[in-house]
Amino acid sequence: MSLLDKFRHKRLEAEVDFENIPKHVAIIMDGNGRWAKRRSLPRKSGHAMGAKTFEVISECAGELGIKVVTFYAFSTENWKRDKDEVESLMALLEDYLDNGLKKLKNRAQIRFIGDMSAFSESFREKQRYVEEATKNNSGFLINVALNYGSRDEITRAVRSIAADAAAGRLAPEDVTEELISSRLDTGGLPDPDLIIRPSGEFRLSNFLMWQGAYAELWFDKILWPDFTRDDLLRAVADYQRRNRRFGGR
Ligand code: FPP
């Protein structure tokens, strides 16, 4: 770190109120492809750098005292990409399932959201093993969204409610916002306070649309592989400067 970077880092740290850290931060890891293109590298190199950033930022989130951090790693739409790219993403995810636990310095719990039925049985077995092996870690929670899309998640939740209604286990008036929330993949978790999207896009792209109804949104043009601890601090400091009213006055 250069002297100027150290100075900037100290100044940022001083800006953050450590008594008012958002409980749940959700991140859309975008810009890997453009990062690679700018360096004339294949897209998979961008994803590999993105996976490194994912590890650094999950660790940093724990150190900051964020209780839940959700990363958008693979969307329901990402299957439409070239076979090579999908395979390279699957290889990175599988590597994380195989080796991620060893790197966990901060005793985090790891969970996955999304429709896992699309993955191979061996992939799902590894995913279940990681969830099981970390389920008693109380430091904080790393939530990884795989084959995830909000519309798909809401559809699955509504289907399960409809099945209960058809079987006579639920009456129409039992269907409340709380019930719907509890049937989502994030059931039991607090809603995100802050959603971060780097890479200069200003969209939520089917990410936590129900849960993010009142989330503060933070956009920046930085590409995900370049995203640093200081960028997370910047986003948290900006979040803390905002006045959250949840529809009230
Ligand atoms: C979007 O960038 C990013 C993705 C579709 C994949 C994100 C996945 C990772 C960072 C790897 C995750 C790994 C682990 C271990 C969780 P893009 O390809 O759309 O970028 P572009 O818009 O610049 O083309």
Helix ranges (H only) for the chain are 3-15, 32-38, 43-64, 83-103, 121-134, 150-166, 177-183, 229-241
121-131 average pLDDT score: 95
Distance of CA 3 to the CA centre of its chain: 32
Please tell me the residue having the least CA distance from ligand 1 atom 3.
30
**Rounded to whole angstroms, how far apart are CA atoms 110 and 92?**
16
Tell me if 33 CB under 6 Å of ligand 1.
yes
Residue 116 has pLDDT above 90, yes or no: yes
Please tell me the residue having the least CA distance from ligand 1 atom 13.
51
**Rounded to whole angstroms, how far apart are CA atoms 21 and 157?**
30
149-155 average pLDDT score: 98
For residue 102, the tally of other CB atoms under 10 A from its CB is: 7
Q: Select the more confidently predicted residue: 101 or 195.
A: 195
- The CA 31 to ligand 1 mean position distance, Å, reads 7
226-247 average pLDDT score: 91
- How much is the pLDDT for 106? 59
- How much is the pLDDT for 101? 78
Residue ranges and CATH numbers for the domains of the chain are 22-149+204-237 (3.40.1180.10)
- How much is the pLDDT for 243? 76
- The atom number, within ligand 1, closest to the CA of 75 reads 5
Residue 219 has pLDDT above 70, yes or no: yes
Count Cβ atoms within 10 A of the Cβ of residue 156 and give its class: 0-12 exposed, 13-18 middle, 19 or more buried.
Answer: middle
181-197 average pLDDT score: 98
Residue 122 has pLDDT above 90, yes or no: yes
- The number of CA neighbours under 13 Å toward the Cβ of 201 is 15
CB 67 within 8 A of CB 189: no
- The model's confidence at residue 105, banded by pLDDT at 50, 70 and 90, is low
- How much is the pLDDT for 102? 79
- The CA 29 to ligand 1 mean position distance, Å, reads 6
Tell me if 93 CB under 6 Å of ligand 1.
yes
Question: In angstroms, how far apart are the furthest CA atoms of the chain?
Answer: 67
Edge-first strand order for the sheet with 216-219 is: 109-113, 141-145, 68-72, 24-28, 194-197, 216-219
- Residues involved in catalysis: 30, 78
**Rounded to whole angstroms, how far apart are CA atoms 42 and 145?**
24
166-180 average pLDDT score: 98
Backbone φ and ψ for 110, nearest 5 degrees, come out as: -120, 130
- The atom number, within ligand 1, closest to the CA of 72 reads 7
Backbone φ and ψ for 19, nearest 5 degrees, come out as: -90, -10
Tell me if 47 CB under 6 Å of ligand 1.
yes
pTM (2 d.p.): 0.95
- How much is the pLDDT for 139? 87
127-147 average pLDDT score: 94
123-134 average pLDDT score: 95
Write the pLDDT tens digit of every residue in 17-64: 999 999 999 999 999 999 999 999 999 999 999 999 999 999 999 999
Of 33, 23, 88, the residue nearest 223 (C-alpha): 33
